[in-house]
Amino acid sequence: MAEDSSWWKDRPDLEAARTERKLLRSKRRALHIRAAMMDAIRTFFAKKDFLEVQTPVRIPTPALEDYIEAIPSGNAWLRTSPEFHMKRMLAAGFDRIYQTGPCFRRDEDGSRHLLEFTMLEWYRNGGDWLDVLEDCHDLLAEIGYHCFQTSEFLFRGQLIDVGCDWERITVEEAFQKYADADLDEVIALGRFEEVLCLRVEPRLGMGGRPTVLTEYPLACSGLSAQIPGRPNRVERWEVYVCGLELGNACTELADPAEQERRFRETAALRHREGRDIYPLDQPFLDMIRVGLPKTAGVAIGLDRLLMLITGEDDIHDVNAF
Within a domain: residue 3? no
- Collapsing DSSP to helix, strand or coil, 78 comes out as strand
Within a domain: residue 1? no
Within a domain: residue 208? yes
Range of the domain at 150: 19-318
Segment 186-209, tens digit of pLDDT: 999 999 999 999 999 999 999 999
Alpha helices in 180-232 (DSSP H): 183-188, 192-195
Contact 209, 165 (CB under 8 A): yes
- Collapsing DSSP to helix, strand or coil, 122 comes out as strand
Measured CA distances, 253 to 84, 218, 279 (Å):
12, 11, 19
Q: What is the DSSP letter of 224?
A: B
Within a domain: residue 81? yes
Region 288-311: mean pLDDT is: 96
Query: The CATH number of the domain where 38 resides is what?
Result: 3.30.930.10
Cβ count within 10 A of residue 190: 10
Within a domain: residue 284? yes
Q: What are phi and psi of 105, to 5 degrees?
A: -140, 130
What is the tally of helices (H) and strands (E) in the chain? Answer: 10, 14
- Collapsing DSSP to helix, strand or coil, 20 comes out as helix
Report the alpha-carbon distance of residue 115 to residue 106 in Å, rounded: 6
Within a domain: residue 2? no
The gap from C-alpha 239 to its chain's centroid, in whole angstroms, comes to: 10
Q: What are phi and psi of 191, to 5 degrees?
A: -115, 20
Within a domain: residue 5? no
Packed helices 302-310 and 129-148: angle between N→C axes, nearest 10 degrees: 40
**Total number of domains in the chain:** 1
- Give Dmax (Cα) for the chain: 88
Q: What is the pLDDT of residue 105?
A: 97
Measured CA distances, 55 to 45, 86, 87, 121, 138 (Å):
17, 7, 11, 11, 25
Instruction: Give 26's pLDDT tier (boundaries 50, 70, 90).
Output: confident
Within a domain: residue 184? yes
For the full predicted model, state whether its pTM sits above 0.75.
yes
Average pLDDT for the chain: 95
Q: What is the pLDDT of residue 162?
A: 98
